[in-house]
Amino acid sequence: MSDERPVAVALENRLMSHGIYVTAFELEQGDRDGDEAEDEDGDGDANVDGNRHESETTGDEQLAPIVLEYETVSEAPGVTSNEVGAVLRTLLAVAEEREWQPGRLEVTSLTTDGVRRGSWHVEAAWFERLSDDLSQVEFSQRVLETISQA
């Protein structure tokens, strides 16, 4: 095991500076039998804070779907392009540092009171194509078009 923090912890720590607090993170990576991924301790339980944190990424986790839920201190009643941008830039930075490719990303945004503000997603193919034939602008437009306000 490396000294690198789990993806969920790295993401959570970096997003706090944007007023975004990760409440749930799941890297869906079950084995061939369809079992859910285990947490860092290998016991299958969520950590004390209620979040499921994955220990490391391996080749088998390439393109694994991600389910993310966060609370934001934003006064906006719905999902904003700024918060989507902050989450994506942070996730892509973590992925680049670890030489890891995220799969489909499903995101839910909540108020600090736990009220759903909206959701958005990114298709795995968009992440794959981002470094090839999909420009940053096209990528951003596609993602922003997926926003569903509460």
Q: Which residue has the higher pLDDT, 33 or 149?
A: 149
CB 47 within 8 A of CB 53: yes
Query: pLDDT tens digit string along 74-131?
Result: 989 999 999 999 999 999 999 999 888 899 999 999 999 999 999 999 999 999 999 7
| pLDDT score at 29 | 64
Characterize the bridge pairing of strands 105-110 and 66-72.
parallel
Half-sphere exposure of 2 (CA within 13 A, CB side): 10
CB 148 within 8 A of CB 116: no
Helices (H), the chain: 7-15, 81-97, 124-130, 136-144
Confidence check: pLDDT of 69 > 70: yes
Q: How far is C-alpha 4 from the geometric centre of its chain's CA atoms? A: 17
| pLDDT score at 48 | 31
Instruction: Select from 3, 15, 1, 33 the least CA-distant residue to 94.
Output: 15
CB 83 within 8 A of CB 69: no
The domain limits of the chain are: 7-149
Question: Using CA atoms, how far apart are residues 148 and 107, in angstroms rounded to an integer?
Answer: 10
- Quote the percentage of the chain above a pLDDT of 90: 65
Please state whether the predicted TM-score (pTM) of the whole model is above 0.85. no
Query: pLDDT tens digit string along 35-50?
Result: 334 333 333 333 334 4
Question: Using CA atoms, how far apart are residues 146 and 58, in angstroms rounded to an integer?
Answer: 29
| pLDDT score at 135 | 94
Interaxial angle between packed helices 136-144 and 81-97, expressed in degrees from 0 to 180 and rounded to the nearest 10: 130
**Per the structure block, which two tokens stand in for 89?**
């830039």
